[in-house]
A and B are shown apart, each in its own frame.
Chain A
């Protein structure tokens, strides 16, 4: 009884109340702080918008164009690769291989942008400048050669087909692609001689009036595409993998080939999921700073040429904001750019998330009825 009085119950309840209070306050505080980002950006950018609404938007247009161009180039390179890889991983790859390959590719996401930008700007850009024709050859030839490998496989004997199955193709295609890469480099001078008078850059300049800048949109596209691939791949693979198997089997039972089932059934069923994966990739490409900063010329141009550089909003902020005086026009303008980036990525991600949640519910529904 004395013990009970020494440690009275009300103390424990008080403790509980206080702890709950602290957690609630902390939790709501953190959520408000996060909300504060949006409020701050609007607050700082508002004077500019109110005073010179359309002017400021006009001043931002080269940056907006640069952002769009960089993101488009990146997606152009990343989407086919990421979606193709996702389709293969989800439907054709052996389960054992999948459990290794997927984390490996997801690991790509962790490589810091500054490292990718450095490689792109310091190594890739000069190389591509010297070997523009080879680069284009490789870009065209490598995908074709993968298809060629498929044709050769069908031609091969059963024994070889069993030894090099499609479910492990992701691994044994690597040496094949390396060989094809070297072949492409070896063939390029021949092709360049025949079609482009021996110098593609000269030819482009004469025939189309295209100038070539060392750090250009092509380089940015390759580098940023590399950075975008893992996130798109991971989400797309998840979406495809969640397609209920009976759906696919049903299509195959009706006589469709595996690939036809993938295209007709799985892609249609997982369409929203793929869409959200693409959206997330676009969000990343739009906001990536260091890669663009290091791999492009950072000149604010309104040019559509893939061989010229651009300056994106994110890069402009990184370059100009440290020098801008607080409260000045440049400062507000850059904050406005940040606000646009924030709104764009936030909305795109929310959209993607909502689509994904709806898709998941639909699958659950399907799972129940089937």
Chain B
């Protein structure tokens, strides 16, 4: 009973508190692990099964998951079967105990196609301008033809056979990739994985966001964030310099400082409302009435667009930049300022040559934090200019190259839209995980950079004293 007494004296509360930390870490780790495995695992060429059911049906595809059957024993397995053009569905639930036979044929292929999504089945033959190859020759022909440019590939016709025995013709020009995952060794799979990841990063979405990549969303996010930084940096720095170096340090300045600090806590959606009301309807509407009245009633600037989104996010991140810069300015010892002034520098020369260079890392930290916040922010963008599928990129070869009035795609919104408003959410989910992982990685890397920069800055200051 001695231990109980000591336990009661010290209490178990510290352990509960330690549990809180452990639980928070656990949740964070679980979230990241989930995103990593789901986001990157999707691109791994997984094995294709061919199962024969007790009723004679043949199903071939990738086993996605098992779920226990409601109300009775056993479980059900979900297969991704592809072939939407043949049997009108891409998914099939199979009760596990009805499976009679399960094989992994090495010849089972998975085709990535431009339309209708994936095909899973066998290669029967290849026709090249009237000549017909079958068996192993067919496979070799395909391997040679795939890297060819599109016009030459058009001569090739694939004769495919579904696992159920139907045949169909597929022009090779509509095929993006062919792989036989069951016959691949690890090296090949790794290569296929790498190229899939690259495709995800570098291509546009296909098949209603269920396939392809997120390049336009990455590009849109980047462009918007760059524009935003261009706007927010000078203004944020100006305001910070004014507050810290020029304004009379009285109660009013202190109040303003608290106000600016608190604006960082105002919900982002409020900024969205402001952006919609002032930028889109107010300024944009007026611009339309003055310069683009021939296009009315369809609005040019009077609707959400790249410029308004960047401006709104610039306003949203202004407090972040101001606070970080001010912190940097406050850390510069007055001795540096006095040293410069005592040598005959004017205030502007002192600011330009001593104070601003010393505050640069802090400013940079602020801007990076602002960028990180803007990259992850979605709610205000829904009001001021994001699009689920932008037909035109906001930056192209057409004069004036940068189209500030166009809508753009954004990683975060793309994620939200595909996951909640997509046509085939089931098929899109793996890509959404990948998008989420990408978004988290971008934001975390930006934040880490800012933290390291700040750390470096503090150490540098420390060595001086």
Contacts and interface: CB of A to CB of B under 8 A. Distances in A.
Contacts of B18: 88, 92-93, 146, 166, 169-170, 173
B419 A23 contact: no
Interface SS of chain A: helix
A48 interface: no
B26 A177 contact: yes
B17 A92 contact: yes
A170 B239 contact: no
A108 B382 contact: no
A171 B12 CA distance: 17
A23 B247 CA distance: 10
A140 interface: no
Interface in A282-301: 283-284, 286-290, 293-294
B10 interface: yes
Question: Which of B243, B265, B315 counts the most chain A CB atoms within 10 A?
Answer: B265
Interface stretch (B72-80, B157-165, B175-183, B440-448): B440-448
Nearest to A15: B348
A259 B346 contact: no
A101 B378 CA distance: 28
Nearest to A123: B34
A317 B420 contact: no
Given A110-B372, A110-B444, A151-B12, A40 B267 contact: no
A341 interface: yes
Interface in B268-297: 268-274, 276-278, 281
Contact of A118 (B271, B348, B419, B444): B419
Given A105-B28, A147-B12, A84 B270 contact: no
Contact of B451 (A40, A103, A151, A345): A103
Contacts, number: 322
Nearest to A154: B7
Given A27-B238, A87-B17, A258-B14, A112 B243 contact: no
Nearest to A259: B11
Interface stretch (A28-36, A53-61, A203-211, A244-252): A28-36
A155 B3 CA distance: 6
B443 A112 contact: yes
Contacts of A257: 9-11
Contacts of B29: 174
A154 B6 contact: yes
B235 interface: yes
B347 A16 contact: yes
Contacts of B319: 34
Given A40-B277, A112-B412, A112-B440, A345 B14 contact: no
A96 interface: no
B260 interface: yes
A123 B412 CA distance: 17
A143 B21 CA distance: 11
A334 B21 CA distance: 39
Nearest to A226: B27
A338 interface: yes
Interface stretch (A303-311, A348-356, A358-366): A348-356
B415 interface: yes
B194 interface: no
Contacts of B11: 150, 257, 259-260
A338 B436 contact: no
B461 to A, nearest CB: 18
Given A112-B443, A121-B419, A26 B242 contact: yes
Task: List the 4 shortest-distance A-B pairs measured between CB atoms, nearest first.
Answer: A287-B267, A27-B242, A146-B19, A150-B15
